[in-house]
Amino acid sequence: MRTAQAGGNNDQVQGFAPVAGTGARVLVLGSMPGVASLRQGRYYAHPRNAFWPIAASVFGFDPGLDYAQRLQALQAARVALWDVLQACERPGSLDADIRGDTLVANDFAAFLERHPAIVRVCFNGAKAAALYRRHVLPGLAVPLEYMDLPSTSPAHAAASFEHKLAAWNRALKIED
């Protein structure tokens, strides 16, 4: 949701609550939802974002399912969704436009305490990885495996869908 601040600044954005089942093993982290996602109140809502087609391909569900069913499919696959940031100022959707002096990271220590089965964190793009490593990791004492993945954002056109799918397929599947 976009909220106006005193002084007329409407670039303040708030992220979403995590989506995680009790047995989640993999946590997918973005940086902060884009404008389309914020407007719809849904993770990866931009129609050209490749996240849902990739997840559907990896886990064998229809990417055209309604949002609640897609979230259920991820939870059944033991995958959780969240973002590194709880809040920030950012005009538009580009990670490059996040104002560094406005960042508020999510509470990962509390989240990981509630979800102790998580063993792998997958970063949806370089900005999510950089933000996490700078603003979260130094204060975190939980040993986890980290995987940097190509962004599923339509702004990351340098990698083909097939390249993204191959990388995400390796990262999302985890042995028990």
pLDDT tens figures, 20-69:
999 999 999 999 998 899 999 999 999 999 999 999 999 999 999 999 99
Active site residue 49: yes
pTM across the whole model: 0.90
* pLDDT tens, position by position, 100-150: 888 999 999 999 999 999 999 999 999 999 999 999 999 998 899 999 999
| CATH assignment, 12-172 | 3.40.470.10
* pLDDT tens, position by position, 46-57: 999 999 999 999
Burial label for 24, CB within 10 Å (0-12, 13-18, 19+), is buried
Q: Exactly one of 10, 49, 106, 169 is catalytic; name it.
A: 49
**pLDDT of amino acid 6:** 35
Task: Give me the phi and psi of 140, to 5 degrees please.
Answer: -110, 130
Per the listing, tokens 């004492």 go with 141
Per the listing, tokens 């490749």 go with 50
**pLDDT of amino acid 63:** 94
Map residue 19 onto helix, strand or coil.
strand
**pLDDT of amino acid 155:** 76
Asked if 25 and 120 touch (Cβ cutoff 8 Å), the reply is: yes
